Amino acid sequence: MPSLKSNKREIPGWLLNQPIAHRGLHDISKGVPENSSAAFSLCLSHNLAIELDIQLSNDGHAVIMHDASLLRTTGRDALVADLSLAELQALTLEQTDETLPSLKETLNLISGSVPLVIEIKPSPHKKENYIRALIKSLDGYSAPIAVQSFDPFLLMELRRQRPDIIRGQLGMNKPPAYLNAARRYLVKSMPFLRNVQADYVAYNVVGLKSSRITKLKKRGIPILAWTVDDLDKLAISRSHADNIIFEKLPLGEL
C-alpha cells in the first residue's frame, strides 16, 4: 500500500498495512501476560508489529504497564508512579514468572525486528519530564516507531521535544463515565488535532462509522482501529480503517 500524507510528511507503510498486536501477542490462558516480554517475543516469532503502554516509575524510568494501579496485573495494591524501577521489577505479572519490563529492556529485546507503537498513559509526572524519559529510552533506537496517546498535551510536548517521531491521537466515541467532563470531551472530540499535528488517529472500532471519523478520512488522515478482538469488528475495520490494533484474533484472519 502506498504511503498516505498527513501534515505534509510521509506516513510509513507499516503503520497502514502491518497489523499491530495490542499489548503484545498475549494469552494468559497459555501463561503469556499482556505487556510482557513473553508476549513481545511471540510477536517477533510471527513478525507482528507491537503496541505497548508506558508509564513512569517514581525514579523516572519508562516501564511497560497499562493500568496506573498495579493491583490487576501484579496483585500489589500500589501505583506505578509510587514505586521505583527496582521495586516494580521485583513484581511478577498475572501469577506467572514474567516480570514487569522497562521500555529500555523491551527495545533491546525487539532490536528493530518489528515496528513498535508506544502508548503514553496519563501520569502524575510533569509532561516535560515524562517525554524526556521516553526520549532517553529511545536514544540510539532507530527502528520504526510511533507514539500515541489520548492526552493531546503529552503529544504536543512530544512534538516540541522530538518532532520527527510519528504521533497518533487516540480517541473514542463513548469515553468511560469515570472520566471527568473535560477529559471525556478531549477523548471524544479530539479538539487539539491541529496543535498535536497528529499523523494518524487511532479510534475505537465501534466508533469508526461516526461523522467525525468520516471527516478525518476526507482530510487524508490515516485511521487505525482499536481494539479489534472479534471477526465482526475486523470486518468493520476493513471497511472503515487503514489498519488495526488487535487481540484475540486467529492470526490466519489477519
Phi/psi for 79 (5° steps) reads -100, 145
- What pLDDT is attached to residue 9? 77
Can you say whether the dihedral through the CA atoms of 228, 131, 66, 50 is positive or negative?
Answer: positive
- Predicted TM-score (pTM) of the model is 0.95
* Rounded distance between C-alpha atoms, residue 120 and residue 79, angstroms: 16
Contact between 16 and 4 (Cβ < 8 Å) = yes
Domains of the chain and CATH, by start? 5-51+110-247 (3.20.20.190)
Contact between 151 and 182 (Cβ < 8 Å) = no
Contact between 201 and 221 (Cβ < 8 Å) = yes
- pLDDT tens by residue, the chain, 254 residues: 334 444 457 899 999 999 999 999 999 999 999 999 999 999 999 999 999 999 999 999 999 999 999 999 999 999 999 999 999 999 999 999 999 999 999 999 999 999 999 999 999 999 999 999 999 999 999 899 999 999 999 999 999 999 999 999 999 999 999 999 999 999 999 999 999 999 999 999 999 999 999 999 999 999 999 999 999 999 999 999 999 999 999 999 99
